[in-house]
Amino acid sequence: MIDPTRLKAYFTDLQTRIVTAIETLEGRAGTSFRADPWARGAGSPLAGSGCTCILEGGRVFERGGVAFSQVSGAALPASATAKRPELAGCAFAAMGVSLVLHPENPYCPTAHMNVRALIATRADADPAWWFGGGMDLTPYYPFAEDIRHFHITCKQALQPFGADTHARYKQWCDEYFFLKHRNEPRGVGGIFFDDLSEGGFERCFALTRAVGDAFSEAYLPIIAKRQTLPYGERERDFQAYRRGRYVEFNLVWDRGTLFGLQSGGRTESILMSLPPVVKWRYDWHPEAGSAEAALYDMLAPRNWTEAPAAGPVLGS
């Protein structure tokens, strides 16, 4: 039996724990999150409530958002039924936590994490439910050991759920976070899953919790290690340029963004993922052999968990 109370208890606790961990990293000289609770009545296209926690202009993070939402609607949007046409027109309820963190230091990578549950009600059958989520890393000046740590933590989180689960979800992530119009990955991947219902509710909920719980360990030690590295205008300029790819993916390809906008969701919460400073240039390419070119050499998917990567990656 699906118990929304259990789902909400986990998701709200996860939001609290991640916000606390980030504020600890910001430190006393840093910035705290601003909690922005919201609610929409039953007459709205997307009814429900939530709390978007936003941090801007921090000591470490230039912008970060950690949002919890619990919403319902009269009909699933097209982005949710593309692979489930039999659910077109079904009423639904969705709940989850979504976050994006954009550090100011270009040597610190951007990170995204999302865990969610969705229930669709049908007049002629039992409710359909599924979980989705994942996390991925988007560096600007990559460190091999950091990328390995992120992927190994993801693998360890999924280990109890089958020997091949991590490999499948890693490949799914590599394929999903890909800018088709650029023919390049957004970052160095991580894990991604959607439409998860195999093995029953308890298994799927446990897997989703494992992913959510692993995020802080996968990402925050990287920031703690790199946040004080010196940088200049060159590094900030390249960071802003590569952030443009992040914006392009979120606005063109991301299913979560499309779901929120198509279902009449809260725009401020949906677009909290966008970085505060972004640049675009026409047909720009990094100089061969430069630190900026090293990023492009490392974007191609690979197995980061088995052996140190070869190639032009920044050292520790």
What are the catalytic residues? 112
The rounded distance, in Å, linking the Cα atoms of 152 and 132 is: 20
Q: Lay out the sheet containing 110-122: strands in order across.
A: 34-40, 47-56, 61-73, 91-103, 110-122, 125-138, 189-196
CA dihedral sign of residues 157, 163, 169, 175: positive
The rounded distance, in Å, linking the Cα atoms of 188 and 63 is: 21
Q: Residue 129's closest CA among 94, 173, 98, 176? A: 94
- Report the C-alpha dihedral over residues 257, 260, 263, 265, rounded to 10 degrees: -140
As a 3-state breakdown, the chain gives helix, strand, coil percent values, each rounded to 5, of 40, 25, 35
Cα dist from 287 to 86, 170, 195, whole Å: 51, 30, 42
CA dihedral sign of residues 136, 139, 142, 145: negative
The rounded distance, in Å, linking the Cα atoms of 292 and 314 is: 10
Q: Residue 99's closest CA among 206, 241, 215? A: 215
Which pair of structure tokens corresponds to residue 54? 């936003």
Which pair of structure tokens corresponds to residue 260? 């929120």
- In the Cβ-directed half-sphere of 215, how many Cα atoms lie within 13 Å? 30
Non-local (6+) Cβ contacts of 126 within 8 A are none
